[in-house]
Every structure is written in structure tokens, then in C-alpha cells.
Amino acid sequence: MNAMKSNLQRVLEAGAFAVTAECGPPRSADADVVIRKGLLLKKFVDAVNVTDNQTAIVRMSSIAAAAILKSVGVEPVFQMVCRDRNRIALQSDLLGASALGLRNMLCLSGDHQKFGNQAQGKNVFDIDSMQLLRTVTDMTEQGRFIGDEFVMEAKPQIFAGAAENPFADPFAYRAARLEKKIESGAKFIQTQCVFNLEKFATWMKEVRKLGLHKRVHILAGVTPLKSAGMARYMRDKVAGMDVPDAVIDRMAKLKGEEARAEGIKICVETIQRLRKMEGVAGVHIMAIEWEEAVPEIVEKAGLLPRP
Amino acid sequence: MIVGERKPFGEIQGLLGRYDNILLVGCGTCVKVCFTGGDKEVAVLASQLRLAAAKGKKKKTISEMTIERQCEIEFVDEVAGKLTGNDVIMSMACGAGVQMLAERFPDTPVLPAVNTTFLGLLQKQGHFVENCQGCGTCVLGTFGGICPVSRCAKSLFNGPCGGSQNGKCEIGGDTPCAWQQIIDRLAKLKQLDNLKAHVPPKNWSTARHGGPRKLIREDNIL
Amino acid sequence: MGNLNITALCCSSALYEGLKPGEYSRAYVEGVQIIETPCSGKVDPIYLLKAFEKGADLVVVLACDQRLCTTLEGSKRIHKRIERTKLLLAEAGLEPERLVLRIVRRPALKSLDILFAGIKEATKELGPSPVGRNDR
């Protein structure tokens, strides 16, 4: 059974501070882009998330890109959103993913399609992310599909997680929602990127009060800022994002290389502060279209070598 | 009520382009209530079509009629009396009404003047909002009378997504987050425990996903 | 300019309210078909469209200031209805400027000639309605 465990699962269960990063698949059929990004990150992280048509823009499928990463020795975390596929497709893809040797997955609702390049499409939302989590759990533990008596012989082996946004509303309900996800079978959580450490600490306090940090591995999200413009964009245009003025001010007067260096500095400081928080089991670095920054961040945060 | 909006005038003119004698039929129920296809709206559209025809030096006759409801045959039968001399019927009712007319008058082309949109209510003056999707398995009792199917953009059942901010949905347009509303209401009713239990995958077979639906009441058939 | 067909829907309070005994006379302006309404709130878009159908080149609505409306909310409604009717006219291919709303000081009877002279001056570029003069 231990041989079936993913690297990420092993690292988290050993109690080591885990590091994951994110890789956005290309808007093309180019496998080399995926390989390049994977190899860049390989030595610096325990696993790499592959997003699933993020912001509803068509990209290479998460499972395909994840399989490509696996083929070059990089452990992936494939993602599944509920927006685009019904329960038949989702369960089918879970079987396929497991058969391809993909062992980690993240369950998400998915950004509404109006944000992407297919805004006129139908959305699905046959099941929600909580129901998807439970489905993965039933498939991996019982070998059962939704509402079906049939028991499959070779059960999928998947370490399932969910996303959580400590900064979204209703704020008071967020810890209760996390508990529900744990009960649905979430084994790890990756949060939305943290800039507001005070608010995050408040959320962690609520989480610890309910003992949830002992039942699920929480990886706090971080994102290095490239510029003040990017910081402001995230604050104003991205739903559920909290970027305090203090952070914007630090980036405000800087340009180019200086701005990026400061962005990395803020990211590293954030990681260091997160490591000190009880209940934070790791960090999830989302350096979208700036994967090259990850090695430097991991190194400067003192997280090398990886176990 | 069923809510719809009149089609853009240019599209209506396009649809009517090849016809000279038009019977415009309104409906006195849902579309009247949302100011889209009642007797007043029929009069206005007819007037606009005449003005446009006169401007374009075209000879068109526009007849007008409004019946109580276009979704019931006993009212639709009344249209027969005004059909003579007209080569097309344009209905200002919802899609159901248009189709009832088409079924009743198979030898006359029937065109829609309205884009039917949703099942909803009049929330306040001039504001009509969607709040029922006809899913066939109503669970409003669990969610404090606020429907997650129709009012949550993602039809989530186990709580809000990460895009909820300040009580608003990530899709914008000032759309309220249904889950914020559900939580607030259940909190007020002291029934937040309703949300503790996991809600399993919905049975969509009773919704349109299972195919076009029908209701048959044998006890009402003589 | 003097040949334009003008139809005016005038609130009777706007015309006559405040006249002293003996000052009353039927509202009349040469070349203008005056239709008295019990309140500007009675005016629906259809009346305005019909006036254009019957060959009006200009349609004028006279209403009282919102704060003085004797039916309380009547003249509050006319503003939005005028906006809506302008949209409807534009859709049908008529210039929205052919529809004119004037909020008048009561009693407007006393200054009707000047009022309409001013309106004619302001709309003189418009010319006859593209719809023509036939009653449909």
C-alpha cells in the first residue's frame, strides 16, 4: 500500500513542510511546454499542480498535461473543475487518470465560463466540488460509482484535495465549509494565495479551534508579484483576492527587475511567516507564467533540499 | 411568472420582412405583467411597425389582438376569428404561447416577438429576477427558501465557492451570492445546521436534462 | 416651419391651474392640435406613437413640475415614459427629437404662443416626419 502512495502524500504524512507549485498547461497541443516547465520545477517541489482550463480559457487538459509531467519524472496534482464535465465524464476521467499513474488530484468548482474565451458555452455543474470529493473517496475506498451498486475490481488510487479561500465571503462560514470538505474526504487543502497574513491567521485560528488542522494537511498559497500593476489587478479584478495596501505600496515605486525582486522578497517573507503558523503543513506556490521564479523562492525560503 | 424581453426591433422587422399582413397576438398573463407582450405592448409594437412601414413606403397591415393566455387552447381558439386576411401570426407571448399558436394554426406561419428568458418574480418596481429553474425536485425547504439551483451561478449545493465577495457573485452585474443569502437567512431562522449535512449529487432526471417533461392528470380527463 | 403638424398633449392642470375667475379661455395655438389630458401621468407611449401615425411631425407634451403635480405622482412618470418613447421612435426610424417634453409654470395658458414658438424654433431643422401624412 505504501508503494501506491504519492510523493506528496508521503511528505505530508511524514510531517515535513511540503512545497507544491503550479503549472498552467499551454493553449496549444505542445507537450514540450509542459515538459520544460516540469523539468524547471522538478528538484524544487514535492508535486506540481496542473490547472484545469483555468479562468475558463481552453488549455491542454489537466490529465493529459499531468501524464506528460509524470513521464519526465515530475509528480503531478491534476485538477478537476465541476464546470465542464458531468458525473459520467468526471468518474470516467478519474479511472483514466489513476490508470495513467496519476496519484494526486484537486477538486474545484471552477471559474464561471463568462471569464474565459468560451463565454457562450453551456456550463455543466452536474455535481459540486464537495460531491466530487465524496465521489473520489467512494471510488477509491469502496470501488463504487455514484448511485450504483456495482463494485469495481481495480479501485483508483488517488490522494484527493480541495481548494479553500480564507478570504472569500461569507468569512464566518469558511471554517465550517472546510470541515465539510474534510468530511467529504479531502486529505489536503491548497488555499488561495495569501497576501493578508492577519486575515489568514484569523482563519487559521478558527480552523485550529475546530481541530481541522489535525485532520487535513493545509498548504497555504503564495504568489510572487511581478509588478504593482499585477498587485492592483489581483486586488480589483480577481474574485476572492485580498491584497493589502501595504503590499501594493511596497511594489508601487518599483519597475522591471527591481519590482520582480521585491515581489520575490515579499513571497519569501510570506512563506517564512507561514511556516511559523501552527497548522500550516506546507506552501503552494502559484507563479503563473513565471514558473522560473519558483526555484529562487524555494531556495531563499530555506526549503531545500526537498525530502 | 414567465419573463421575457421583446426581441430587438431590427430582428422583428427581419422576421416579418416577407409578410404584408400581420396579426400581432399578445398575452394577458405573464408577459403582460413583465411589460413585454400584453395588450399595451402589442399596441406599441403595431404602431412602431406601421411607422416603419410608412417610412419605408411599404404597404403592411398590422392587426392586433390580445387573449387571456396563449398557453391554453380555449383562449387560443379565439384567434381563429381574426386570422382571415393575415399571412402570418407574430406572438408576443412566451415560447409556450408561440408553440400553442403554431400547433393550433398549422397552416399559418407563427413567429416569436419575444425572447423568453426565465421563471421569476417582481422583486421591486421594474425588477424581475430569476429564481426557479423547474428542476423538478424542490429543495427550498432545506435552504431557507432560497434556491441554490437557480440563484447560484454554479448551482452549488454544499456551500459557496471561492468567488463570493461582499455578498456578491463572481459573475458580477451586482448579482447577489445566493449562498451568502442562504447562510444569512438560515442564521436568522437559527437553522444553520441545515447546512451541516452533505448534500449528495442532485437527481437531474426530473429537470429538463431528463428530456422534455409532461404532467398528466388522469383525474381531469373525461 | 409654420407648416409642421404639431400635436400637443397638455395636462389641464398645467394649462389652467391658478387662473383667476374670468381668466379662463380654451387653450388654442394656431397650427397645433391640442389634446387636454387630466394629468401628464395619463400619457402612455401609445398615444404619442399614434399621434405620429396620424401624421404629426412634432409631438409635444406639457407637464407640471413633479413637486406640484395635483395627482401627486402623475408628472413623475412622464419623464421616463418620454425617454422610453424616444427609444421606440428611434427603433421605428423616426428622430427622437420630434418628441418634446416641456415642464411648464402654471398656468401655461398665458404663455402658450411663446412656448410653441420656442419649440418650433428649436426643432426647425427636422422638417416633416419621414412617415408622411396618411392616417393608417
Range of C65's domain?
6-122
Predicted confidence at residue A253, as pLDDT, reads 87
Complex ipTM > 0.85: yes
Whether C82 maps to a domain, the answer reads yes
Would the CB atoms of A169 and B201 count as touching at under 8 Å? no
**Nearest-neighbour CA in chain B from A163: distance (Å):** 8
* Chain B contact set for C88 (CB, 8 A): 44, 48
Fold held by B2-118? Rossmann fold (3.40.50)
Interface touch A177/B160, C-beta < 8 Å? yes
Q: Kindly determine whether residue A184 and residue B198, on different chains, have CB atoms separated by under 8 Å.
A: yes
Neighbour-count burial for A244-270, b at 16+ CB within 10 Å, e otherwise: eeebbebbeebeeeebbebbbebbbeb
The answer to whether B54 contacts C50, with C-beta atoms less than 8 Å apart, is: no
pLDDT in tens, A250-290: 999 898 999 999 999 999 999 999 999 999 999 999 997 89
The reported pLDDT for the residue numbered B162 is 86
* Alpha-carbon gap: C55 to the closest alpha carbon of chain B (Å): 10
Model's pTM, two decimal places?
0.91
C136 falls in which pLDDT band (50, 70, 90)? very low
Each residue of C79-88: pLDDT tens digit?
Answer: 999 999 999 9
Chain B 152-181, residues with CB within 8 Å of chain C CB atoms: none
Scanning A218-277 for CB atoms below 8 A from B yields: 239-240
Q: Chain A residue with minimal CA distance to B155?
A: A125
DSSP code per residue over chain B: -EEEEEPPHHHHHHHHTT-SEEEEEEESSHHHHTTSSSHHHHHHHHHHHHHHHHHTT---EEEEEEES-TTSHHHHGGGGGG-TT-SEEEE-S-HHHHHHHHHH-TTS-EEE-EEEEEEEEEEETTEEEEEE---SS--TTTTTT--HHHHSTT--SSS--TT-BTTB-TT-TTPBPHHHHHHHHHHHTT-GGGGTSPPPPP-GGGSGGG-S-----GGG--
Residues 121-160 of B with CB under 8 A from A: 153-160
Chains touching A by CB (3 or more pairs below 8 Å)? B
A111 to chain B: which residues are within 8 Å by CB? 163, 170
pLDDT tens-digit profile, chain B (222 residues): 999 999 999 999 999 999 999 999 999 999 999 999 999 999 999 999 999 999 999 999 999 999 999 999 999 999 999 999 999 999 999 999 999 999 999 999 999 999 999 999 999 999 999 999 999 999 999 999 999 999 999 999 999 998 888 899 999 989 999 999 999 999 999 999 999 999 999 999 999 999 999 999 999 999
Quote the CA–CA distance of C40 and C68 in Å, as a whole number. Answer: 12
Domain ranges of chain A: 2-299
Residue C135 pLDDT exceeds 60: no
Contacts across the B-C interface (CB distance below 8 Å): 46
Query: pLDDT band for position C1 (50/70/90)?
Result: very low
Number of structural domains chain C divides into: 1
Best of B165, B166, B181, B191 to mutate (most A CBs within 10 Å, chain A): B165
Give domain limits for chain B.
Answer: 2-118, 133-209
Name the average pLDDT for chain A.
Answer: 94
Using one digit for the tens of pLDDT, what is the confidence trace for A21-39? Answer: 999 999 999 999 999 999 9
Question: C134 in a domain, yes or no?
Answer: no
Give me the average pLDDT of each 10-residue run along chain A (307 residues).
80 96 95 96 96 96 98 97 97 98 97 94 96 97 96 96 88 84 96 95 94 97 94 85 92 92 96 97 93 96 93
Residues of C in contact with B54 (CB under 8 A): 53, 131-132, 134, 136
pLDDT tens for each residue of C26-74: 999 999 999 999 999 999 999 999 999 999 999 999 999 999 998 988 8
Contact B44 C91 (CB under 8 A): no
Q: Which of A96, A128, A124 is nearest to A109 (CA)?
A: A128
| pLDDT attached to residue C133 | 67
Interchain proximity B48–C88, CB inside 8 Å: yes
For chain B, the chains sharing at least 3 beta-carbon pairs closer than 8 angstroms are A, C
CATH number attached to the domain at A2-299: 3.20.20.220
Q: Min CA distance, C22 vs chain B (Å)? A: 41
Q: Is residue C1 part of a domain?
A: no
